[in-house]
Chain A
Amino acid sequence: RKEVEQDPGPFNVPEGATVAFNCTYSNSASQSFFWYRQDCRKEPKLLMSVYSSGNEDGRFTAQLNRASQYISLLIRDSKLSDSATYLCVVNYPFNFGNEKLTFGTGTRLTIIP
């Protein structure tokens, strides 16, 4: 099983709609979770961290479900500028206590006018 799995999409969504992505992770010891956004041929940028209680930033809501080991991202009232690839990122222990961030392959979202 992959450490972090995402539906690659593409998700083609009309402007103004609500869209949600899920991401599953394999290591139950993971403690930190993030969503990064990556525009075409650009670098990834942090969109938001995901907290146990869930968190909201404007039109974006992130949720964590530890029991089922998945995180979700909900985008409301989608804008054309939301078109991007969304990367699910989870910390993962390795090498004698070191930790690293594990990146999912991304979910591609296109907002249609």
Chain B
Amino acid sequence: NAGVTQTPKFQVLKTGQSMTLQCAQDMNHNSMYWYRQDPGMGLRLIYYSASEGTTDKGEVPNGYNVSRLNKREFSLRLESAAPSQTSVYFCASSEAVIDTDTQYFGPGTRLTVL
């Protein structure tokens, strides 16, 4: 089992460019999440998907869109990247959206927007 995988691992964008971060899990989990981690801020929830076919905004959704493509895959899209979106992005999954469930994280994508 690979667990949660993310691509790419690193990315550099120019302001205004778009890109999609990919995430997949092979644990048959229902719920998936996108977080960003910035120095001194802790992880912050961008979007989550409680189950296949549903997505909801988290704490910091502005500037992002998501797609739950199927049960395994949950992508995060930046339509017009801004320097403020320079961050480390983590995808996570859990059995259910009940917060007591363990969340399993992917290895992260380090994004720099120039």
A residues apposed to B, CB below 8 Å? 4, 8, 31-32, 42-46, 49, 87, 91, 94-95, 98-106
- Rounded to whole angstroms, the CA-CA distance of A95 and B105 in the bound complex is 24
B87 in the interface, Cβ–Cβ < 8 Å?
A: no
- Rounded to whole angstroms, the CA-CA distance of A29 and B105 in the bound complex is 26
Q: Tell me whether A44 and B43 are in contact (CB under 8 A).
A: yes
Contact with A along B66-82 (1 / 0, CB 8 A): 00000000000000000
* Interchain pairs with CB closer than 8 A, number: 46
Give the total of B residues in contact with A, Cβ under 8 Å.
Answer: 21
- Rounded to whole angstroms, the CA-CA distance of A106 and B43 in the bound complex is 10
Q: Tell me whether B56 and A98 are in contact (CB under 8 A).
A: yes
Q: Say yes or no: A101-B42 contact (C-beta < 8 A), given A43-B90, A44-B90.
A: no
Q: Which residues of B contact A106 (CB under 8 A)?
A: 42
Q: Which residues of B contact A100 (CB under 8 A)?
A: 45, 48, 58-59, 99
